[in-house]
Homo-oligomer: A and B are copies of this chain.
């Protein structure tokens, strides 16, 4: 093969998978060895981490993913997918639209919260007391924005996903499955800003941190979980058969407000 063609092959080189005629390897594992032996969650871990997870690690990841699946048609990611499904596009296109809105504000809180915990842990690693490191870090974040990612919820007084997720991590720490540093950071933030409780993003960020995922993958994993709810809602709307569904029922005309002079 000439040098130039080697350049072209290098341009698309990857260590994620190896595809050759008759061969499909995912992170070095022949796909035929995975089929029947590995769950989808195992495959997620394998593809992102390069090796298969332990059962206990996979269980924690499952919990974080299941917690993210749905939050009903008030969530733009769900509403948009449902409306999209009525416009004559494919189910995959409707899902894409839902995924596309999981941005910094709607889908990024888990990532941001993991950054928050990481910053607290960094400060604590320099010798500060955890409560003090938390107080300082939370102060910095609040000076930048009134929203502290991972805490409080505009809808739930107490997010019903918080307790079971935190309990699972506590058990995993007790069993030596994970170290507990991110759990400590999360609880320290909750104590610092009491009585505002942790929400799903604060709890899943603990799990992703304990499992060793970098912050951007907290968002990536949230996308995988929420895609399940997006699909279920888009499919329900497809079966309903409505066409060109607007955000509100026909007959309610938005008020026109002329531009200010």
Residues of A within 8 A of B (CB): 1-2, 4-5, 7-28, 30-32, 34-36, 38-44, 47-48, 50, 59, 62-63, 65-67, 69-77, 79-80, 83-84, 86-93, 95-97, 99-108, 154-158, 160-161, 163-165, 167-168, 216-217, 219-220, 223-225, 227-229, 231-236, 238, 243-259
Contact = CB atoms under 8 A, between A and B. Distances in A.
B106 A88 contact: yes
A111 to B, nearest CB: 9
Report the copy number of this chain in the oligomer. Answer: 4
Contact of A246 (B7, B9, B42, B74): B74
Contacts of A97: 80, 96-97, 100-101
A33 to B, nearest CB: 8
A9 B106 CA distance: 22
Nearest to A147: B243
22 contacts: A7-B249, A12-B247, A16-B70, A25-B256, A28-B258, A32-B161, A35-B67, A39-B41, A39-B62, A40-B66, A48-B232, A74-B248, A75-B244, A76-B244, A88-B103, A89-B93, A92-B103, A95-B99, A100-B100, A106-B244, A216-B235, A223-B231
B232 A224 contact: no
Contacts of A217: 235
A72 B220 contact: no
Contacts of A257: 13-15
A39 B36 contact: no
Nearest to A39: B62
A92 B99 contact: yes
B79 A47 contact: no
Given A76-B83, A227-B227, A100 B105 contact: no
In order of increasing CB-CB distance, the 9 nearest A-B pairs are: A88-B105, A88-B104, A89-B103, A19-B72, A88-B103, A18-B256, A87-B106, A96-B100, A47-B232
User: Which of A17, A227, A259 has most chain B Cβ within 10 Å?
Assistant: A17
